[in-house]
Amino acid sequence: MQKEAIALVSECVRNKCVNPPGGEMKSIRTVGRYLDSYDVKYEVFESGPDRGNLLAQIKGTSSGPSLMLGPAHVDVVPVADPSVWRYPPFSGEIHDGCIWGRGTLDMLFIVAAQATVFAHLVKDGFRPKGDLKFLVVSDEEVGGEHGTGWMVKNHPDAVKVDYLMTEAGGYEVAPNRYVYSYGEKGGTWLRISFKGTEQHGSMPYGSDNAVSTMAEVIRRLCSYNAPVTTEHIAVLLRGMPVSPIKRWLITRRVLLNRLIGMLSKGDMAQAKLLHSISRMTISPNQCQGGTKVNVVPGQAWLDIDIRTLPGQDEDYIMHHLKHALGPFSDRVDLVALPKEAGSPASYGNASKMQSPLVDAMESVTREIYGPEAILVPMLMPGVTDCRFFREEWDTQAYGFSMFDRTLKMSELVNLAHGTDERVPLETLSLTAETYMGVVRRLLG
């Protein structure tokens, strides 16, 4: 299974399904050819030109719960500068015990692990108590309108399930403590437009410069402190080996920002995590303005990435944006990103922290890492396709895989969407072993 999974990951990396524009059918066909080699029946649903989704199913023998492996997305984000990578980002090469390349961590290793597990279950004649489904999708990186969202809207009966496992989780956050994702923040991408007055760049005094206005707005957004909550930090800490005094300190709202600042000096990854799950964040990530170097710009725009906790809706976002912008709130236009540049807004969502699937996940984790291993629930800072299932059917959806101990959490945080993205071969094997064990416990 490891050899098969490695080959799948490498080929999907080489397929270069960068989104936008996508072109994910290359990798959908790759997964399909692999399933063909085991005579696995599946269906491909075309959702657009060279875009689509693959669904396979083993029907249940009784009225047991239904479980999905996936949705597992095959689209990947772009690479800004391939020259800074240690190995070519779309080669899928193996070095130093890892598969290297864009998308290996997010989330082609899970695609491959789930595909091999499903194929071998079919080969072994596995008869689940409830339906077992395997869903491979397009378009997760730009909102799911051709992927999971499209399947939920157009083929709801085909994809509806009680439980699912997808990205991400399974890495060690403390000795013998492994996280699983029970929920996630929402993502809202907005564009702020600025207007000024064009004039000759040789006489800028007193000019209405759209770029200067944008610069001040960026400063305001970066310095804005949204209200802090320690609710999701407290959930994370319940299963962590933390002393009562330290737990009390970390969950005090008035102390949290100072503690995060101190933590950032020694463990930036932990600081980033605690910051992200304790508030709404606003990140100005793209900007453009002006027409020519000797012309005072009459227009500019800024794209911002807003991530919200469960319970923080559109009204909450607009209320705090108005406060952050201050006197500029009436001088700018605020709209959703153009369709080709971003995805529809989503809002924070979560599943139950305990369920029969979580019990099965923890049981397998202890088999792999010993009886002292404990699963710890964590709110995921990013957005996944879980939201479609939670919103439509209240599916109990979890992010879970199983990492080996060669890459620390601080490294993993920077690798997803980052330079030198890679995944250890042992992680690929452990993840397949984990999925196989969970399926057999829940549905066997």
**205-243 tens-digit pLDDT:** 999 999 999 999 999 999 999 999 999 999 999 888 888
Structure tokens at 428: 């690929």
Quick one: pLDDT at residue 367? Answer: 96
Q: Residues 6 or more apart from 309 whose CB is under 8 A from it? A: 185, 186, 229, 232, 277, 279, 280, 348, 379
How many folded domains does the chain comprise? 2
Quick one: pLDDT at residue 20? Answer: 92
CA 301 to CA 289: how far, in whole Å?
Answer: 6
Structure tokens at 367: 């088999």
Quick one: pLDDT at residue 238? Answer: 86
Q: Once rounded to an integer, what is the mean pLDDT over residues 173-201?
A: 94
Residues 30 and 155 in one domain: yes
**146-174 tens-digit pLDDT:** 999 999 999 999 999 999 999 988 989 88
Residues 91 and 201 in one domain: no
Quick one: pLDDT at residue 249? Answer: 86
The reply to whether 378 falls in a domain is no
Cα dihedral sign, 344-345-351-357: positive
- Burial code of 414-427, b = ≥16 C-beta within 10 A, e = fewer? ebbbeeebbbbbbb
Confidence of residue 246 (pLDDT cuts 50, 70, 90): confident
Domain end residue (candidates: 336, 368, 398): 336
To the nearest whole number, what is the mean pLDDT of the chain?
95
Residues 195 and 152 in one domain: no
Question: Is 121:439 a contact under the CB 8 Å cutoff?
Answer: yes
Quick one: pLDDT at residue 245? Answer: 87
Q: Once rounded to an integer, what is the mean pLDDT over residues 314-324?
A: 96
**258-316 tens-digit pLDDT:** 999 998 998 888 899 999 999 999 999 999 999 999 999 999 999 999 999 999 999 99
CA 444 to CA 437: how far, in whole Å?
Answer: 10
**381-407 tens-digit pLDDT:** 989 999 999 999 999 999 999 999 888
The reply to whether 352 falls in a domain is no
Residue 433 has pLDDT above 90, yes or no: yes
CA 357 to CA 435: how far, in whole Å?
Answer: 11
What's 6's domain CATH number? 3.40.630.10
**121-141 tens-digit pLDDT:** 999 999 999 999 999 999 999
Quick one: pLDDT at residue 168? Answer: 83
Quick one: pLDDT at residue 337? Answer: 85
Q: Residues 6 or more apart from 433 whose CB is under 8 A from it? A: 364, 368, 402
Confidence of residue 63 (pLDDT cuts 50, 70, 90): confident
Structure tokens at 73: 């997305």
The reply to whether 307 falls in a domain is yes
Residues 211 and 89 in one domain: no
Residues 65 and 32 in one domain: yes
Residues 196 and 153 in one domain: no
Residue 368 has pLDDT above 90, yes or no: yes
Quick one: pLDDT at residue 360? Answer: 98
Q: Residues 6 or more apart from 339 whose CB is under 8 A from it? A: none
Residue 356 has pLDDT above 80, yes or no: yes
Residue 339 has pLDDT above 80, yes or no: no
Domain end residue (candidates: 336, 353, 375): 336
Q: Please, which residues bridge with residue 377 across strands? A: 180
Quick one: pLDDT at residue 325? Answer: 96
Structure tokens at 37: 């080699």
Quick one: pLDDT at residue 247? Answer: 86
417-421: long-range pairs with CB below 8 Å, 24+: 417/77, 417/106, 419/84, 419/85, 420/85, 420/86, 420/87, 420/100, 421/89, 421/100, 421/101, 421/102, 421/103, 421/104, 421/105, 421/106
Question: Is 435:70 a contact under the CB 8 Å cutoff?
Answer: no
Residues 26 and 111 in one domain: yes
Cα dihedral sign, 25-31-37-38: negative
The reply to whether 363 falls in a domain is no
Quick one: pLDDT at residue 270? Answer: 86
Quick one: pLDDT at residue 243? Answer: 87
Residues 216 and 98 in one domain: no
Residue found by looking up tokens 């009784």 in the block: 62
Nearest C-alpha neighbor of 189 from the set 402, 336, 352, 347: 336
Q: Which residue has the higher pLDDT, 416 or 83?
A: 83
Nearest C-alpha neighbor of 322 from the set 430, 221, 179, 207: 221
Structure tokens at 325: 């912008």
Question: Is 348:186 a contact under the CB 8 Å cutoff?
Answer: yes
Residues 91 and 236 in one domain: no
Q: Once rounded to an integer, what is the mean pLDDT over residues 47-67?
A: 96
Residue 410 has pLDDT above 80, yes or no: no
Quick one: pLDDT at residue 297? Answer: 97
The reply to whether 358 falls in a domain is no
Question: Is 117:4 a contact under the CB 8 Å cutoff?
Answer: no
Quick one: pLDDT at residue 197? Answer: 95
Domain end residue (candidates: 319, 336, 353): 336
Q: Is the pTM of this model over 0.85?
A: yes
Which residue range forms the structural domain that includes residue 150? 2-173+386-443
Residues 76 and 191 in one domain: no
The reply to whether 371 falls in a domain is no
What's 274's domain CATH number? 3.30.70.360
Residues 24 and 165 in one domain: yes
Confidence of residue 336 (pLDDT cuts 50, 70, 90): confident
Residues 295 and 399 in one domain: no
